[in-house]
Amino acid sequence: MLDKAKAHIEMVMAEGVKGPDKGCKYYPCHHFEGQECTWCFCPFYPCLDPSAGGKWKVSERTGKDVWSCIDCRWVHSDAIPEKVLEGLRRGEEPRRLRRRLWEEGHG
């Protein structure tokens, strides 16, 4: 995991969910108003599961395949960030946590 992503996740673990960040110059980077920005750096990246809206694309910068989250609404919807935070604070392994939330109908 990138240092920047790790630092962001640690910050959320300490400070809690944030809601939409309308002051961010990229807002709404997932192209819908009200986007929840707590998990700007997603703890599940790269989930490699298109069910959430992610997909493979060719990076314009490197020409290599990258997992793009631009169309993912799941982790940026109102209902999910707190559940993710609770799971991570309990020490749930991220892949297992994501799968559990989907299986419980939060997908």
Q: What does the alpha-carbon distance between residue 93 and residue 71 come to, in Å, rounded to a whole number? A: 24
Single residue of 5, 27, 28, 53 touching ligand SF4 by CB under 6 A: 53
Question: Would you call the peptide bond into 81 cis, given omega within 30 degrees of 0 as the criterion?
Answer: no
Contact flag: residue 44 with ligand SF4 (CB under 6 A): yes
**H or E, element range at 4:** helix 3-15
Single residue of 37, 40, 47, 84 touching ligand SF4 by CB under 6 A: 47
Residue whose CB is nearest to ligand SF4 in the complex, by number: 54
Q: Which stretch binds ligand SF4 (CB under 6 A): 5-13, 16-24, 69-77, 83-91?
A: 69-77
Residues that bind ligand SF4 (CB under 6 A): 42, 44-47, 52-54, 69, 72, 74-75
